Every structure is written in C-alpha cells, then in structure tokens.
Chain A
Amino acid sequence: MFGYALRRTLSAIPTLVLVAISVFVLLRVVPGDPALLILGDAASAESLASLRRSMGLDLPLWQQFSHWIARVLVGDFGTAITNGQPVLPLIIDRFSVTAVIVLLSVLLASLVAVPLGMVAAWRQNSATDLAVIAGSTLLLSVPSFWLGLMLLMLFGVWLQWLPVVGYVGFGENAAIALTFIIMPVVTLTLIEIGQLTRMARAATIDVLRLDYVAHARAKGLSEGVVLFRHVLPNAFAPTLSLIGVILGNLLGGIAVIETVFTLPGLGRLLVDAIFQRDYPVVQGCMLFIAAIYIVVNLLIDLAYPWFDPRVAVE
C-alpha cells in the first residue's frame, strides 16, 4: 500500500508540471500589467519600467518561468506583488479557513445524506421517498449565495444570534471563531446534502436489487442487519467517489460563500489575485489546488478497497 501511494504521488509530477506551465502561460496571455495596476494610470513610463525590472517582468517568458519554477522546487513560491507577503504562508493561512469549513460541511452532509438516501431507497416509491427526493432536489436547486444571504438575514440581522461580518481565527478565540463559521458551514452542508442524498439513494436502489440482499434475507437476518451489514458498505462505495470529487472541488476554494460571509479563504484570495494580476499568488494558488486534487483522489482511492475489496490497491 505504501508503494502504491508512492507510485501514485510520483505519477502526479507530470500533472503538476503541466499545470505550472499552462497557468504561467495563460496568465501572461491575459491582458493587464501588474506594474500599471500598482502605480496607477498617472505613473511615468520610467517608473513603470523600473518597477517591471525589479519584479523581473522585463525578462523573456522562458527566463521568468525557469526562475519561478527553480524557486518553487525549493519551496519558495515568491512574494505577493500587491502586499509583499510570502505566497506559500499566505496560501496555507487562507486554506486553513476554507479547509475547516469544507471538511466540516462534507462530513456533516455525508452523515445526514447517506442514511437519508438509504432509507428513501429502502422505502422506494413511498411518501418518505417522495419527501426525500423533493427535499434534495430543492436543496440542489437553491443557489448557495441566496441561501447564505437568507441565513444572514434571519440569524444575523433579525435574531442577532450570530455575527454578520468578519472572521476570528480558531487560534485567537475558539468560541468566537465558531460563531463565525456556523452559517457558512450550514449553507454548504445543506447544498451538499442535496447532491449526496440523491447519489446514496440511487446507489442503494442498485444494491437492493442484487441477489446477495435476497440471500441475506433468506438466511433470516433482520432488516436492520441486512441494511447495515450488507447494503451500506456496497452502497457507500459509489457515494465515496462523489465525496472525493466534491471535496476536491470545494477545497480549491468556495469563493461565493467566502464572499457572502466575508471569510478570508482560499477562493477569495485567488479571485482577488486574478483581478490584481498578482502573478505569484495566482500561480501558487493554482499549483496548490492541483496538489489538493491529487492528494484527495489518492486518499479516496486508498480508502476504496475498504468498502469494495474487489478493487485491489497494488
């Protein structure tokens, strides 16, 4: 298993190289000049040129790229053009905010959605099933920013139970930090419940049709044992793949929710950096996000055989 993980990690290197090259080239193709954005329209041609020189933007593209990549290889992602902060600590700091919210939401959503989907499938075509389908379709169709704004209005403005604007890190004061992330977590959880419930229901329906479920019942096992021991692990495997995709997607930044709740997350960092043509930050973020995808997928693949032993890890 360790060898497999190592091989998978090594085989991710070409992917990361491709990401690095394409992000670098694409950014340079997009019109816009960081020096102009920093100094403003009124700046003189000489000061613009000298700022470009000091940032290394006057060099040929391949030289800029090789300088950047050589430093990335030793763990130095450069400094942000806009505020001079080192990029990697900046990304990690912002990512921790996003990660807490995303991991909590996906965990909560899975804990609710998998049993809900299973019960709906078990009672297929009943009123319970209909209610679950209707509910999850509704959650799927609601835009996340609207749901977020409604929660803000209800709990923040009218009831005034939770803070509306700002963020406090868990390192400063855990209790206060918690009040800031409740609403974003709830919003994201509700949205993901919609998706995961439908998947869990469909997967369970497929499994319930199979002979081994009838076989388990024919042995005289109770419905509870049949569902938990025989149906759950098999129905969970396809859901796990979807959870992997969702995690990869969300950990790369939840810009809309971060904007609605004014959270300093990875998504907002990336969006702001794009607008400011902050090349080192955008490049760093994109590489980081690609790495997250690779790690999440690897973890999901390593966990998969646990639910489906037919898939061997070797």
Chain B
Amino acid sequence: MSPLLEISGLRIATSGRLPVVDDVSLEIARSEVLAVVGESGSGKTATARATIGLLPPGLHVSSGSIRFDGREIAGLPHAELRSLRGPGIGMVFQEPMTSLNPALTIGGQLTEALALHGVSRAEQRERALAMLTRVGIQDPAQCLGAFPHEFSGGMRQRIMLASAMLLRPKLLIADEPTTALDTLTQADVLDLMVDLTREHGTAVMLITHNLGLVARYAQRAVVMQSGRVVETGDAAALLTTPRTLYTRALVEAMPRRMDARPPVPPSPVIEARGLTVAFGGRRRFFTLGRAVTAVDQVDLTVHQGETVALVGGSGSGKTTLGRALLRLVNPTAGEIRFQGADITRLTGQQLVPFRRACQIVFQDPFSSLDPRLRVQAIVAEPLRLMPDRSLDQVARMLAAVGLTGFERRFPHELSGGQRQRVAIARALIRNPAFVVADEPVSALDMTIQKQILALLRQLQRERGFACLFVSHDLAAVEEVADRVVVMQSGRIVEAGLRDAVFDRPQHAYTQALLAASPRLPTLTG
C-alpha cells in the first residue's frame, strides 16, 4: 500500500529566494508515528506547515511534491486545500497559552469544524463531550461553556488534542506539542496522544528537538539539519547506532550523568530555615485578596563549590524559593543566613553587600538582556558600583565564557546560546559567592544546552561559587547536580545526594517525575 504522506524533493524558500528547506524527502505510513528531529533553524516546522498548507507569510514551496493519500497537494488551490484540513490533516501546536482563542468558549471552538462538515448540533455536542471525557477533562459539560484561560497549560493541550482528533484526521501533525509543559504533564499528554491516535488509526508527524521523546514514542525518525534530511531510519536504531556525525552529536548532547564529584567540605554559603513565602492576602481597595502560600516552611542549605538542583513541576514553588533566597521576593516567615549573617530583615542600603555577592541567571536569554546595550556594557554593568572597574576584567570574563571578540555586539546579533553565555558572564564577573540559575538551559537546543551546562560546571570548578540550579528538566539536573531537592506544592518532599535520589527515589512524587523523564538507551558502536 502506498504511504499516507509522501514528501519528495521539497524545497521551501523565502521571498528573497533563500532556501529554508532544501530537497527534503520523507514518508509516513498509515497509523505510523514518525518523529522529525532537529534543532532550531533545521526546517522541521516549515516542512510540517507546508504539509498542511499553512506556511507563514514570506515562505513558499518553490519545488517538490507532497502527496497525501494518493493525491498531490503541493500547489493545490486554497479551497481544495482547506477541505483537506481537519478530517484529512489535523495539527496540534506548541504553545498552549496562545493556540486556543481566548474570546471563544471551548465548546464553540470544538464544534465549529464539525458544524462545517454538516454534523447536527446534538451530535456535535455529544461527540465533543465524548472526546473531552476521553482526553481526561473532569467535567466535560461544564468545560464546553468555559473559556481557555480557566485551564492550565497541560489541560489546554488536552483540549487542543481533542479539537484536532474530533475530526478523526488521517494524519496528525504535532509541532513540539509538549515543549512548554513540565516533565510530568509532558509524559501524560504524549501518552494520551499516542493512545488516542492509535485508537483512531491516525498517523502522527511528531516534530521535536528532544531525542528522549523519539525513543519513547516514535517508530521511525527523520533527523534534519539546516533544511536538509541527514538521516532516516528506525527510531531505536538511530539513537543507539547513529550513522551520521550530526545524529551522533545530537545523541551525545543528551544530558547524561557525570561521575559524582567528591563531596565538598561543609561550608554553608546560604541557609534557609523555615522559609515561607505567601502572596496576596493584603487588603486592597474594597476587597480582600486571598493568600497563596508558594513556599511553605522550607529548610535548605547550599555549600561553597556545590550545585544543588531544585526540582519540581510548574507551580511547585521552586522559582519563588530561588528568588526568596536572593531577597528578590520578601519572605513571610523564617530565616535566611548568608555566610553566617542573618539577612532576612535587611532593607535598602543594608542589602547592598549581599546583593553584590549573589547573582541570578534567568531562563529566557531573549528578555533578560537590555537590547540597547552592547555585550561589553552588559557584562561591565555589575562593576559600576566597584572602584576597580576595568575593561581588562570584562575581556577576561568574556574569554572565560568563550565570547572573545563579541564585545561590540548587541544582544539581537547573538544566538540564544551566546546570549545565555553573556548572562552567565554578567552574573559571574564579580565573583559571587552564590548563584541562582533559574532554568538556564530550558530555552536552548540540545547541543547548546550541553555546552552551557559544561561551561557552568567548569566555571564553578574554577571559582568555587555555590549554585542553586532550578529546573523541571531532570536530564539536565542529572548532569550537573551534586545534591537534589524535590519540591511539590511549596514543600520539600525529598532531598539527598544526586545518585541516591535518582537511583533510589523514596517519595512517590520523585518516582513519578523520574518515570516521566525521557531517557536514552546507551550509545553503542
């Protein structure tokens, strides 16, 4: 039988004739899950969008063929292409916060495409309810009348999946469907997607940058680099015995456990005792806000020269705890000691020495650097308050993060990885005693993640700062952490040495997190 989707010699170009996708060929059999793997700029999303005829303005298919269900669809007139969308090809998008219309009810969005295909109102409702129940929505009838903002990211992705699968498409394109979700939710949604498509006999094109997902969910995989296919094959074989250098580099970039470092002599840099942070509850004009306890009675110590990973799902309070330790968020109760001194109640000028000795690296390298400052000025900025500021020092710091020669660039002239290096240089230039790294690699490609993690490790070895590594990504944590602290609903549920926590997790929540975390089989050959 002919494949369901057969793309051959596909070229996609910008209006300026620059190729974005160059001579791509791939096929998907009926009911098969094909993973398309690649880093940003590899052309994987453009290929997927071309398949459903939804290329963004400025991109067009310049040559090649896309055959779907035995029919050529590249260059098909708009109206015919439209009749194919929905029942032929469905799509699930990456960003749960923007892929449902905020102004329409869930019910309205689920049923509108069914109405288009002449399904009666009663049957529309019945099918929507059945599908919502199937994707695990608690109260489907109530959900139909609700708006998207009333649901969490994971719930919205389930609703999205329901919306696409309601039309029983032959092919589902899932473009990084879980990248914006935390580890536990990610596994739930992907398991659901694979089960649901199997029930309906729907084939899946799973676009991802995460090789861990490939091993777990796809039968075959296509690896793309700079607009070209570099390798195609059985998913498991591709990961264990990659044939090309690029695939091998991708597989090797997957975080894996380094040998445990010798334990550091206990010399606490920062200590929290009974730390509690509550939001809200303040009397406002005519109303009384309700208090939410984000961090609840937490004890935590980070010693000199060690990395403590703070792990948990979204809403676990890990980011708030990181910021409270830096006094960026004020604690409601408890005590924070920095190098032995109580800093819990310091204010204004008293905080300055503490501020100088602590730093933070943020998650999003696109919004954490001032777009109007050059790299040199950004890195030099923390020195402004110091008498011995010097360009020498900036040059040495930039050399340490591998950015010599980038002094005069603006942030928009840098890649994501380079920006994160600038952020690290800015954080470390004053030799801080304590650094909070808040999801520092979550926004980066795998190969770049590996470089940044290695850089952090090396700089820590040289400079000996204490590091709190906040992350939902257990794979990255396994690579860098000396100790691991697991948070759930504002409380610490498990803490211990890395190997102990990863190999013998005690708490049910830790076990669930580890089970949901994608791992790779060992590389051979």
Q: What is the number of residues of chain B that contact chain A, defined by CB distance less than 8 Å? A: 33
B244 touches A (CB below 8 Å): no
CB under 8 Å from chain B, chain A span 112-142:
124-125
Known: A7-B286, A124-B57, A309-B147. Is A219-B167 also a contact (CB below 8 A)?
A: yes
A229 touches which of B86, B89, B93, B104 (Cβ 8 Å):
B104
CB under 8 Å from chain A, chain B span 57-110:
57, 82-87, 89-91, 93-95, 98-104
B116 touches A (CB below 8 Å): yes
B195 touches A (CB below 8 Å): no
CB pair A216–B101 under 8 Å, yes or no, is yes
CB pair A214–B147 under 8 Å, yes or no, is no
A214-B99, A218-B86, A229-B112 known, 7 other contacts, Cβ within 8 Å: A214-B93, A215-B163, A218-B89, A220-B116, A233-B103, A309-B103, A309-B147
CB pair B98–A211 under 8 Å, yes or no, is yes
CB under 8 Å from chain A, chain B span 90-146:
90-91, 93-95, 98-104, 112-113, 116
B345 touches A (CB below 8 Å): no
Mind listing 22 A-B residue pairs with CB under 8 Å?
A124-B57, A210-B99, A211-B94, A211-B95, A212-B100, A215-B99, A217-B82, A218-B89, A219-B90, A219-B113, A220-B83, A220-B86, A221-B116, A222-B82, A229-B104, A229-B112, A230-B103, A230-B104, A234-B101, A234-B102, A309-B147, A310-B102
A307 touches B (CB below 8 Å): yes
B54 touches A (CB below 8 Å): yes
A11 touches B (CB below 8 Å): yes
A-B contact count (CB 8 A): 85
Known: A124-B57, A215-B91, A218-B91. Is A307-B103 also a contact (CB below 8 A)?
A: yes
Q: What is the bound-complex CA distance between A125 and B93, given in angstroms?
A: 26
Residues of A within 8 A of B98 (CB): 210-212
Min CB distance, A288 to chain B, in Å?
A: 26
CB pair B160–A308 under 8 Å, yes or no, is no
CB under 8 Å from chain B, chain A span 203-227:
210-212, 214-222, 225
B149 touches A (CB below 8 Å): yes
Q: What is the bound-complex CA distance between A229 and B104, given in angstroms?
A: 8
CB pair B54–A219 under 8 Å, yes or no, is no
Q: What is the bound-complex CA distance between A227 and B160, given in angstroms?
A: 20
B52 touches A (CB below 8 Å): yes
Residues of B within 8 A of A307 (CB): 103
CB under 8 Å from chain B, chain A span 262-304:
none
Residues of A within 8 A of B116 (CB): 219-221
Residues of A within 8 A of B100 (CB): 212, 215
Known: A220-B116, A309-B147. Is A215-B93 also a contact (CB below 8 A)?
A: yes
CB under 8 Å from chain A, chain B span 349-363:
none
Min CB distance, A208 to chain B, in Å?
A: 9
Q: What is the bound-complex CA distance between A220 and B91, given in angstroms?
A: 11
CB pair A218–B90 under 8 Å, yes or no, is yes
Q: What is the bound-complex CA distance between A216 and B102, given in angstroms?
A: 13
- In the complex, residue of chain A having the shortest beta-carbon distance to the beta carbon of B173: A218
Q: What is the bound-complex CA distance between A237 and B101, given in angstroms?
A: 13
Known: A309-B103, A310-B102. Is A218-B83 also a contact (CB below 8 A)?
A: no
Q: What is the bound-complex CA distance between A220 and B285, given in angstroms?
A: 47
Q: What is the number of residues of chain A that contact chain B, defined by CB distance less than 8 Å? A: 26
CB under 8 Å from chain B, chain A span 1-22:
7, 11
Q: What is the bound-complex CA distance between A234 and B99, given in angstroms?
A: 13
CB pair A310–B113 under 8 Å, yes or no, is no
Min CB distance, B118 to chain A, in Å?
A: 13
Residues of A within 8 A of B164 (CB): 218-219
Residues of B within 8 A of A211 (CB): 93-95, 98-99
CB under 8 Å from chain A, chain B span 379-396:
none
Q: What is the bound-complex CA distance between A212 and B163, given in angstroms?
A: 12
Q: What is the bound-complex CA distance between A234 and B116, given in angstroms?
A: 22
B103 touches which of A220, A225, A234 (Cβ 8 Å):
A234
Q: What is the bound-complex CA distance between A234 and B100, given in angstroms?
A: 12
Most buried by B among A212, A233, A237, A307: A212
Q: What is the bound-complex CA distance between A230 and B86, given in angstroms?
A: 17
Give me the 4 closest cross-chain CB pairs, A-B, nearest first. Answer: A220-B86, A211-B99, A220-B85, A219-B113
CB pair B101–A310 under 8 Å, yes or no, is no
Q: What is the bound-complex CA distance between A218 and B53, given in angstroms?
A: 9
A308 touches which of B93, B94, B103 (Cβ 8 Å):
B103
Q: What is the bound-complex CA distance between A309 and B147, given in angstroms?
A: 7
A220 touches which of B87, B99, B102, B286 (Cβ 8 Å):
B87
Min CB distance, A42 to chain B, in Å?
A: 56
Q: What is the bound-complex CA distance between A48 and B81, given in angstroms?
A: 86
- In the complex, residue of chain B having the shortest beta-carbon distance to the beta carbon of A215: B99
- In the complex, residue of chain A having the shortest beta-carbon distance to the beta carbon of B90: A218
Min CB distance, B67 to chain A, in Å?
A: 19
Min CB distance, B51 to chain A, in Å?
A: 11
Residues of A within 8 A of B91 (CB): 214-215, 218
Q: What is the bound-complex CA distance between A307 and B101, given in angstroms?
A: 11
Known: A214-B54, A215-B100. Is A221-B113 also a contact (CB below 8 A)?
A: yes
Q: What is the bound-complex CA distance between A156 and B323, given in angstroms?
A: 69
CB pair B149–A219 under 8 Å, yes or no, is no
B102 touches which of A214, A218, A225, A309 (Cβ 8 Å):
A309
Q: What is the bound-complex CA distance between A233 and B147, given in angstroms?
A: 14
Min CB distance, A253 to chain B, in Å?
A: 31
Q: What is the bound-complex CA distance between A57 and B103, given in angstroms?
A: 57
CB pair A218–B112 under 8 Å, yes or no, is no
Residues of A within 8 A of B112 (CB): 219, 221, 225, 229
Q: What is the bound-complex CA distance between A7 and B52, given in angstroms?
A: 50
Residues of B within 8 A of A214 (CB): 54, 91, 93, 99
Residues of A within 8 A of B89 (CB): 218
Q: What is the bound-complex CA distance between A175 and B436, given in angstroms?
A: 74
Min CB distance, B39 to chain A, in Å?
A: 21
CB under 8 Å from chain A, chain B span 292-326:
none
Min CB distance, A223 to chain B, in Å?
A: 8
Most buried by B among A124, A216, A222, A234: A216
- In the complex, residue of chain B having the shortest beta-carbon distance to the beta carbon of A213: B101
Q: What is the bound-complex CA distance between A10 and B426, given in angstroms?
A: 49
Residues of B within 8 A of A218 (CB): 52, 54, 85-86, 89-91, 164
Known: A230-B104, A234-B101. Is A217-B94 also a contact (CB below 8 A)?
A: no
Q: What is the bound-complex CA distance between A212 and B159, given in angstroms?
A: 13
Q: What is the bound-complex CA distance between A7 and B99, given in angstroms?
A: 35
CB pair B147–A310 under 8 Å, yes or no, is yes
- In the complex, residue of chain B having the shortest beta-carbon distance to the beta carbon of A214: B54
CB under 8 Å from chain B, chain A span 191-206:
none
Min CB distance, B388 to chain A, in Å?
A: 47
Q: What is the bound-complex CA distance between A217 and B167, given in angstroms?
A: 14
CB pair A217–B103 under 8 Å, yes or no, is no
Most buried by B among A211, A218, A222, A225: A218
Mask: chain A, 230-251; 1 = CB below 8 Å from B; 0 = not? 1001100100000000000000
CB pair A220–B84 under 8 Å, yes or no, is yes
Q: What is the bound-complex CA distance between A309 and B145, given in angstroms?
A: 12
Residues of A within 8 A of B84 (CB): 220
Min CB distance, B460 to chain A, in Å?
A: 38
Q: What is the bound-complex CA distance between A216 and B113, given in angstroms?
A: 9
Q: What is the bound-complex CA distance between A308 and B104, given in angstroms?
A: 9
Q: What is the bound-complex CA distance between A211 and B90, given in angstroms?
A: 14
Min CB distance, A129 to chain B, in Å?
A: 12
Mask: chain A, 65-102; 1 = CB below 8 Å from B; 0 = not? 00000000000000000000000000000000000000
Q: What is the bound-complex CA distance between A222 and B103, given in angstroms?
A: 18
Mask: chain B, 326-338; 1 = CB below 8 Å from A; 0 = not? 0000000000000
Min CB distance, A307 to chain B, in Å?
A: 6
